[in-house]
Amino acid sequence: MLLTSLALAAALLAQPAVAGAAATLVEPREARMTLDGRSWSCDSAGQCIGRGGGNTQPLMRECRRFVARFGAVSAFSRNGLALTEAELGQCNAAVA
């Protein structure tokens, strides 16, 4: 019983503290915008947090739509899933 409780507690602690999305801008700037049902806020260091459920869409599509409005990213994740370096290259193609 104790072992089960410890395993459950460890699993809960391993989950991200805030459900949503995160991105890091290549060219840092402050910005705020609601995009596809998610409220994005970027600080002066280019760290962006997306709060809210957002529309159901593939991670790559959400990244491309984000990049088209905010600019290139060096990181993009949603609910614990992060794009790889190769995927970030594809995502950043939306800038052009």
Residue 68 lies in a domain: yes
- CA–CA separation, 89 and 13 (whole Å): 32
Residue 9 lies in a domain: no
pTM of the predicted protein model: 0.77
The mean per-residue pLDDT over the stretch 8-16 comes to: 44
For residues 5 and 71, the model is more confident at 71
- Specify the pLDDT at position 19: 65
Tell me the two tokens of residue 40.
């994005």
How does DSSP classify residue 62?
A: H
Residue 2 lies in a domain: no
34-77 pLDDT tens trace: 999 999 999 999 999 999 987 889 999 999 999 999 999 999 99
Number of domains in the chain: 1
Residue 27 lies in a domain: yes
